[in-house]
Amino acid sequence: MSAVIFGCGGSGSDEDKASLEKTTELKTEHVAEPDCTDTATELAGCWASECEVVNDDDQTSLIYGRSVIAFADNGQLREYLQAFDNANCVSPALHTTQLLTDTTYGLAPRVDGEDVANIDGHIEFDLQNRPLPEDFPEGAESIVRTPYDITAEGALCLDTDRVSYDGMGGGFVLTGAPSDGIDYENCLERLEP
């Protein structure tokens, strides 16, 4: 069983995932900036996706965006979308929107003897309180697991076949198969305070 859950945005042109995608409307709130305080020691601060064009309908005024997440020390995942008028997402943002998803997470250490050397630990996202697609099977597991690695450069890298963030929001894939490993092409960068 697998399902793709997106908070905002879409899955691009990947036809396998697109056929399963059901974008769910989320409650949002405008905030001054992401809350990067009181976060888990292992994943301290905020983490941002690459800056990318999110609206090019009007060629005279491009809007760039990124996702920002923070792992609050109370187990809540904080998720934000930011819009900018520059291609490097240099502050100040035009606006910052918090996605009120009620997604929680848990951290688990690396498993010696099982995990490959580059895995620092595992993140388990619980989506049971997040708005799920209407066709999500009742009683199905709503947990997404991914290994993570914090690189020498300080980037947070995940299995993006399971959990991914871009300028349009986050995506989660629920599946019973084990993780395929960590993607080092689409890592999240730590935001400097």
**Secondary structure tally for the chain: helices H, strands E:** 1, 15
Task: For 112-152, give the DSSP string.
Answer: TTTS-TT--EEEEEE-TTS---TTSPTT---EEEEEEEE-T
Q: What is the pLDDT along the chain (193 residues), one digit of tens a residue?
A: 334 444 443 333 333 332 223 345 678 999 999 999 999 999 999 999 999 998 756 666 789 999 999 999 999 999 999 999 999 999 999 999 999 989 999 999 998 888 888 899 999 999 988 877 777 777 778 889 999 999 999 999 999 989 999 999 988 887 666 666 899 999 999 998 6
One-letter amino acid for residue 75 of the chain? G
Global pTM reads 0.84
Q: What pLDDT sits at residue 175?
A: 65
Question: Residue 122 forms beta bridges with which residues?
Answer: 108, 147
